[in-house]
Amino acid sequence: MNPLLFGILALLMIASALGVVLLHSPVRSALSLVMTLFLLAVTFLFLDAYLVAALQVVVYAGAIMVLFLFVIMLLNLQADPQGMAKVGVRFAAVLLASLFLLAAVRFFVAPAALGSGTGMGGTPPAGFGSVEAVAERLFTHSLFAFEVTSVLLLVAIIGAVVLAKRKLV
Amino acid sequence: MWIEVLIALIKASAIVGMIVGLAGMLGWVERKGSALIQDRIGANRASIFGFAGAGLINTMMADPLKFFTKEDIVPARVDRLLHTLAPCVAMFPVLATFAVIPFGDVLQVGERSINLQVAPLNIGILYVLAMAGLAVYGVVLAGWASNDRLSLLGGIRGSAQMISYEVGMGLSIVAMVMTYGTLDLQAMVRAQGHLIGGWLPAWGVLYQPLAFLIFLCAGIAESKRVPFDLPEGESELVSGYFTEYSGIKYLMFFMTDFIEIAVIAGLITTMFFGGWQVPYLMRDGFHFPGGAAVLLPQVIVAVLQIGSFMVKVFFFCWFQIMIRWTLPRLRYDTLMRLGWKGLLPAALLNILATAVIALAVQG
Amino acid sequence: MTVVPITWYLILGAILFTIGAVGVLIRRNVIVIFMSIELMLNAVNLVFVAFSRQLHSMDGQVAVFFVMTVAAAEAAVGLAVIIAMFRNRETINADELSLLRW
């Protein structure tokens, strides 16, 4: 991928991620997150992960975020002036987070630490990232995880319905 | 490389121009069609020097002009940014869905064969589902941003309805994907050119009639048309989630409604009725089952295919408009019950049956 | 056209993760905390896909598939909990939901 294109995408992504955290109105936070997810889907397309990009839009941006917006609308949440912690907490959080970021970049991301080198590995084999390739891995190597995940989803559905049900007096 | 960009631009603008024009014409078809059903004359006042042009003056000029020149009233208490954003967010996914609908086979220009599909994605159907998912945002934002009880109610109802019927739509599409073994829409249409038993065109509706019915039902519910138009319930919620809109923004919501009719018609045509396939028409001409063949130049074949696609899309648009004036509106709980307790189990059983039959035929 | 080295993707993922973590720490609205958690999960997805592309292995993308599924299940249950909490306490400010604090 073109470095200039990556730079633009990265800047937009960081801006919308900051929007999620810093905006006072929950609806605008949610919309900022939708934009971040969309930009991530575009990045996935450039990384040859076609099925994952489509799933990102269908599942994350199209279903999970709609659920978030639904709940925000249902609870009628307006812009919240007490939405942030006290100034001291904010300062400490940002300081710790920056320290963590610097440590992560220095120790885990530095070229010396990456055993596989910094290149992107050249052109992938044909059909990489397509539905067939993911399906082939999913139903052979990760079959057990796949089946367990379906049970997990069933449990989550039942749990959500039970929790959100209005108790009949 | 610039030639390819130019060709893609031409294809995209042709499609968008055609669809927006079609949406305008559908407005007139709706008025005249409803008038015919209700035994009245309908809109016949717009004309230039007595020339009404069979409604073209009305739809192409009078209606849009009326909307453009109306005052754009924005109530004081709305959330300005979201209020302005909602119509754009509503219109974007429905127009973008047309990028993967193929409107022809290939067009030979010199030694370059142009695939008559704006974006030849190999995950075509997933893209359609993604755009259907994004279409909910327009409704949600319009309902929320209007800061008004009735709009919020229409917005919540609309989005709940859309996500419920998205599930049924997705599952009926899964059955089609299983039948054709591909997610690519152009490959699906090409596969429908085969002949069963030597004479019957292998259209999707013959393989998957139940999936067709489920998709038709879910598609009409997705576009919030009658009988599923409770979110914009004209007799209850004033105009539902777009009550607080006027002028161009209202025109955008209005257009989105009709463009979505065209989208659903396009998808039904592509997956179930052979897309651009004319029965017995191959790339070089007609090949009838008896053995007779009529050879035609490639350009004529392409034109015939595009024409056949347009005719089928028109038919399904007309069909959806006629349904509007035939069936009564579903009540909200009936609507949700139909989506979750009717279409979803039917679609799941359809997938199961398809899988069993596919295995039986193969093995 | 030069290729973007993988470290750039990893750094972007780390930055997004950190922004999400800061969001969890400083925001008091439970739903926004939840959204920051989703942001962190997505940063991890980005790192998975980047490595999958570099090592030409589909395992990364299969992992992303599972992360997305689990995130969907978690979002559904979490939001149901939030709705139940709102019905009982009329607030979703994390500072005021302190019944279990000693």
Q: Which long-range contacts (CB under 8 A, 24 or more apart) does B176-182 make?
A: B176/B125, B176/B204, B176/B208, B176/B211, B176/B271, B176/B272, B177/B125, B178/B351, B178/B354, B178/B355, B178/B358, B179/B204, B179/B207, B179/B208, B179/B354, B179/B358, B180/B204
- Three-state secondary-structure class, residue A75: coil
Read off the pLDDT of each residue in B264-274 and give the average, rounded to a whole number: 92
Task: Give the domain range for residue C62.
Answer: 29-89
Number of domains in chain A: 3
Residue B301 lies in a domain: yes
Number of A to B CB contacts under 8 A, please give it: 64
Residues of chain C numbered 41-100 and touching chain A (CB < 8 Å): 42, 45-46, 49-56, 58-59, 61-62, 64-66, 68-77, 79-84, 86-87, 92-93
Read off the pLDDT of each residue in C16-32 and give the average, rounded to a whole number: 92
pLDDT band per the 50, 70, 90 thresholds, residue B33: confident
**Where residue A7 sits, what CATH number does that domain have?**
1.20.120.1200
Say yes or no: A1 and A76 in one domain: yes
| Range scoring the smallest mean pLDDT among B230-234, B269-273, B316-320, C66-70 | B230-234
Predicted pLDDT of residue B50: 63
Predicted pLDDT of residue B309: 92
Nearest Cα of chain A lies from the Cα of B178 at a distance, in angstroms, of: 13
For chain C, the distance separating the N- and C-terminal CA atoms, rounded to the nearest angstrom, is 60
Predicted pLDDT of residue B75: 82
The reply to whether residue C27 touches residue A84, judged by beta carbons under 8 angstroms, is: yes
Say yes or no: A90 and A143 in one domain: no
Q: Are A57 and A38 in contact (CB under 8 A)?
A: yes
Q: What pLDDT digit, counting tens, does each position of A37-60 carry?
A: 999 999 999 988 999 999 999 999
| Range scoring the smallest mean pLDDT among A111-120, A154-163, C53-62 | A111-120
CA dihedral A53, A55, A58, A60 (to 10 degrees): -90
Among A53, A81, A109, the domain-final residue is: A81
User: Helices (H) and strands (E) in chain A — how many of each?
Assistant: 7, 0
pLDDT above 50 (res B61): yes
Q: Are B347 and B171 in contact (CB under 8 A)?
A: yes
Say yes or no: A59 and A89 in one domain: no
Say yes or no: A51 and A75 in one domain: yes
Nearest residue, CB atoms, B127 vs list A54, A69, A74: A54
Residue C67 lies in a domain: yes
**C-alpha pair distances (Å), C14 with each of A112, B88, B158, C42:** 17, 33, 38, 11
Q: Are B226 and B64 in contact (CB under 8 A)?
A: no
**What integer best gives the mean pLDDT of chain C?**
89
Instruction: Name the more confident of B294 and B100.
Output: B100
**Closest Cα partner for B201 from B105, B294, B277?**
B277
Nearest Cα of chain C lies from the Cα of A115 at a distance, in angstroms, of: 11
Say yes or no: A11 and A34 in one domain: yes
Predicted pLDDT of residue A148: 95
Number of domains in chain C: 1
pLDDT band per the 50, 70, 90 thresholds, residue B72: confident
Sign of CA dihedral C16, C22, C23, C25: positive
Number of domains in chain B: 1
Q: Does A68 touch chain B (CB under 8 A)?
A: no
User: Helices (H) and strands (E) in chain C — how many of each?
Assistant: 3, 0
Return the exposure string of B2-23: e unless at least 16 CB atoms fall within 10 Å of the residue's CB, then b.
eeeeebeeebeeebbebbbebb
pLDDT band per the 50, 70, 90 thresholds, residue A1: low
Residue C84 lies in a domain: yes
B contacts of A28 (beta carbons < 8 Å):
81-82
Q: Does A57 touch chain B (CB under 8 A)?
A: yes
The reply to whether residue A69 touches residue B129, judged by beta carbons under 8 angstroms, is: no
Say yes or no: A2 and A45 in one domain: yes
pLDDT above 50 (res B231): yes
pLDDT band per the 50, 70, 90 thresholds, residue A154: very high
Predicted pLDDT of residue C1: 44
Nearest residue, CB atoms, B183 vs list A58, A74, A131: A131
Residue B50 lies in a domain: no
Q: What pLDDT digit, counting tens, does each position of B151-185 carry?
A: 788 888 888 889 899 999 999 999 999 988 889 99
Residue B62 lies in a domain: no
- Residue A75 CA to residue C87 CA, distance in Å, equals 9
A contacts of B129 (beta carbons < 8 Å):
54, 58, 62
Q: Does A52 touch chain C (CB under 8 A)?
A: yes
pLDDT band per the 50, 70, 90 thresholds, residue A169: low
- Residue B316 CA to residue B272 CA, distance in Å, equals 12
Say yes or no: A4 and A56 in one domain: yes
pLDDT above 90 (res B114): no
pLDDT band per the 50, 70, 90 thresholds, residue B55: low
**What integer best gives the mean pLDDT of chain B?**
84
Element (H, E) at B299: helix B298-324
Read off the pLDDT of each residue in B2-20 and give the average, rounded to a whole number: 88
Residue B353 lies in a domain: yes
Predicted pLDDT of residue B254: 84
Instruction: Name the more confident of B296 and C57.
Output: C57
**Closest Cα partner for B221 from B303, B112, B141, B139?**
B139
Residue B134 lies in a domain: yes
pLDDT above 50 (res C38): yes
Say yes or no: A76 and A106 in one domain: no
Residue C79 lies in a domain: yes
pLDDT above 80 (res A65): yes
Say yes or no: A10 and A22 in one domain: yes
| Range scoring the smallest mean pLDDT among A71-75, A123-127, B92-96 | A123-127
A contacts of C27 (beta carbons < 8 Å):
21, 83-85
Place of tokens 């709705």: C83
pLDDT band per the 50, 70, 90 thresholds, residue B300: confident
Nearest CA in chain B to A76: B144
The model's pTM: 0.90
Instruction: Name the more confident of B65 and B163.
Output: B163
Residue C57 lies in a domain: yes
- Three-state secondary-structure class, residue B42: coil
- Three-state secondary-structure class, residue C93: strand
Residue C18 lies in a domain: no
Residue C19 lies in a domain: no
Q: Does A120 touch chain C (CB under 8 A)?
A: yes
The reply to whether residue C76 touches residue A157, judged by beta carbons under 8 angstroms, is: yes
Nearest Cα of chain A lies from the Cα of C73 at a distance, in angstroms, of: 5
Predicted pLDDT of residue C2: 61
pLDDT above 60 (res B355): yes
Task: Give the domain range for residue B221.
Answer: 73-362
Nearest Cα of chain A lies from the Cα of B161 at a distance, in angstroms, of: 12
pLDDT above 60 (res B237): no
pLDDT above 90 (res C65): yes
Sign of CA dihedral A117, A119, A124, A128: positive
Residue B340 lies in a domain: yes
Task: Give the domain range for residue A150.
Answer: 125-169
Question: Mean pLDDT: which of B3-7, B74-78, B265-269 is highest?
Answer: B265-269
**C-alpha pair distances (Å), B351 with each of A120, B168, B336:** 40, 11, 21
Predicted pLDDT of residue B79: 79
pLDDT above 60 (res B234): no
Q: Are B54 and B220 in contact (CB under 8 A)?
A: no
- Residue B305 CA to residue B296 CA, distance in Å, equals 12
Say yes or no: A132 and A169 in one domain: yes
Instruction: Name the more confident of A86 and B189.
Output: B189
Nearest Cα of chain B lies from the Cα of A166 at a distance, in angstroms, of: 17
